[in-house]
Amino acid sequence: MKILIVDDEALARDRLRQLVDEIDGCTVCAEAVNGDDALECVAQYQPDVLLLDIRMPGMDGLEAARHLQALEHPPAIIFTTAYNDYALQAFEAHAVDYLMKPVRSERLAEALQHARRLTRVQAAALQEADVEGAVRERICVNVRGSLQLIPVTEIRYFLADQKYVTVCAADGKLLTEETLKLLEQEFADRFVRIHRNALVARQYITGIDKDEEGHARVVLAGTDDTLEISRRHLADIRKLVRAL
């Protein structure tokens, strides 16, 4: 079983490596110092399990775990932390294992033996469990088996279509399995709902137009696409446009 160790502290990584080396059938394939580094290592080394610190500078463990769910087969996640606080009960309730620092060899062996892949339901639970309200600066999508991070500031809209949500950004359109509901909750200050299936970036709204059938449509900078505005949301969008 290939293990990726993710921790910003060198001493913590060294200790985990020593413990993993003592467990039969397990080997450390790589080490990473933060969430961004971890995503690159996952793509390169294809680990079976991540020993993932929660609190790290830059992209933390919570955000990295959520981004990894864009993969078709995400690795198992075992969180490591020195803080017995807000997230641990949620992780335990949804069968996501965690280890308290300093990690004990017996507990590590047990966690690795029972490691399970993080499910989509568990990934959503992670997002809801992040009670500190950290908002991501990037959205992660799966592009031909590789993870791609899209800055939220470059996204024009999210458009739901059955199982997937289209992410329209500066470089084109990609798909994510994140739900429109959770995206709206997280990015309420940046995106506004214009229809039951669409969120648009406030900063890119330039006006309102009508199609041949007389339906109101929002006009966005940076894309030729216009999206239908439902009657329910039309008054709010008109107020936004008037305030431009």
**Containing domain of residue 218, as a range?**
138-242
Q: Looking at residues 14-23, what average pLDDT do you find?
A: 96
Q: 152 and 182 share a domain?
A: yes
Per-residue tokens: 18: 């020593």
Q: To 10 degrees, the CA torsion angle through 206, 169, 39, 190?
A: 20
Selected residue with higher pLDDT from 90 and 184 = 184
Same domain, 203 and 85: no
Q: What is the mean pLDDT of residues 208-221?
A: 95
Q: With contact defined as beta carbons under 8 Å apart, do 187 and 181 qualify?
A: no
Q: Residue 118 — pLDDT band, cuts 50, 70, 90?
A: low
| Percent of all residues in the chain with a pLDDT value above 90, rounded to a whole number | 59
pLDDT (average), residues 204-231: 95
Domain boundary among the residues 102, 129, 156 is at: 129
pLDDT value of position 46? 92
Helix (H, G, I), strand (E, B) or coil at 145: coil
Of 70, 75, 76, the residue nearest 145 (C-alpha): 70
pLDDT 10s digits, 50-91: 999 988 998 988 888 888 877 878 888 898 888 766 455 445
What pTM was estimated for this model as a whole? 0.69
Is the domain of 82 the same as that of 179? no
Write down which residue in 98, 129, 160 finishes a domain: 129
Alpha-carbon dihedral 128, 129, 130, 132, rounded to 10 degrees = 110
Q: Same domain for 102 and 26?
A: yes
In the chain, what is the straight-line distance between the N-terminal and C-terminal CA atoms, in Å? 55
Q: In whole angstroms, give the CA distance from residue 115 to residue 177.
A: 23
Torsion of CA 5, 6, 7, 13, to 10 degrees: 10
Token pair, residue 148, equals: 């791609």
Do residues 202 and 124 share a domain?
Answer: no
Find the range with the poorest average confidence among 65-74, 163-172, 215-224.
Answer: 65-74
pLDDT tops 70 at residue 127: no
Domain boundary among 109, 129, 149: 129
- Together in a domain, 123 and 152: no
Instruction: Say whether 47 sits in a helix, a strand or coil.
Output: coil
Say how far apart CA 180 and CA 227 lie, in whole Å.
Answer: 15
Q: Verify that 122 and 231 share a domain, yes or no.
A: no
Dihedral of the alpha carbons of 122, 175, 163, 46, in degrees to the nearest 10: -40
Q: Which of 62-76, 144-158, 219-233 has the highest mean pLDDT?
A: 219-233
CATH number of the domain to which 124 belongs: 3.40.50.2300
CATH number at residue 156: 2.40.50.1020
Q: What are the angstrom distances between the C-alpha of 98 and each of 3, 106, 172?
A: 15, 13, 38
Q: Say yes or no to pLDDT of 8 above 50.
A: yes
pLDDT at 94 over 70: no
What mean pLDDT do residues 175-190 have? 91
Q: Looking at the structure, do residues 50 and 7 belong to the same domain, yes or no?
A: yes
| Alpha-carbon gap, residue 170 to 178, rounded angstroms | 19
Structural domains of the chain, count: 2
Task: Judge whether residue 119 has pLDDT over 70.
Answer: no
